Amino acid sequence: MKQTISGTVDRWIEEQARHGVFVLKVVKKNDPWQGMDDEEIEDRREFIKCYLLKDFELLFMTPSSPKEYDSWFPSHQEFMESAFNTYDFQRMQRPFDKYGYRVRKVMEQVKDLVLLHSCISQPEGRKNIRARFEALVNSEFRDPLLSLVDRYKRTFDEERRAKLRYKIAKLNQHILECKRVWERYALNL
């Protein structure tokens, strides 16, 4: 029985191969294009596209100059030859200092809090701003400083102690800078 079925299937495949057209194809039950030829499918897709773009019709009517390229450089070769990809340009770029950027942003927040403190006339509001300032300084500088001091006390290696002293001095410097900004800009009424 199996041999007759496989023989029949083999004959079907041979017939289709001789004619060059395979008529067997998988039919999906949920295929939205079932029963349509290629032209009907293309027309339907075009209709769907026009329907979806109808909402953006006014936006597409605004005049715009045609762009030749969507990026700065029309080709990869031109990018490789650009001034941004030369050794001179890369040599002049310094590595990005993440910690310095963070400290600058914290100092900007401190200055904003100080200016807000000087603008508020209610004592309760001033007290809240002062508490926010102290919480910012504590979370960014004082808490790490205390943990570094604890590590310094537990460390006996002189090289590590020297590195910790340097970090402690930097954090102290940042705390004093915050205090100077507060004293400079805050109106103590």
pLDDT of residue 173: 95
CB 34 within 8 A of CB 28: yes
Domains defined along the chain, listed by start: 98-185 (1.20.58)
Model-level pTM greater than 0.85? no
**Cα(25)–Cα(34) distance, integer angstroms:** 12
Tens of pLDDT, residue by residue, the chain (189 residues): 556 777 787 777 777 766 665 556 666 778 777 778 889 889 988 988 888 888 888 887 887 776 665 555 566 666 566 666 666 666 777 788 899 999 999 999 999 999 999 888 898 999 999 999 999 999 999 999 999 999 999 999 999 999 999 999 999 999 999 999 998 887 664
Angle at 150 between CA 146 and CA 156, to 5 degrees: 145
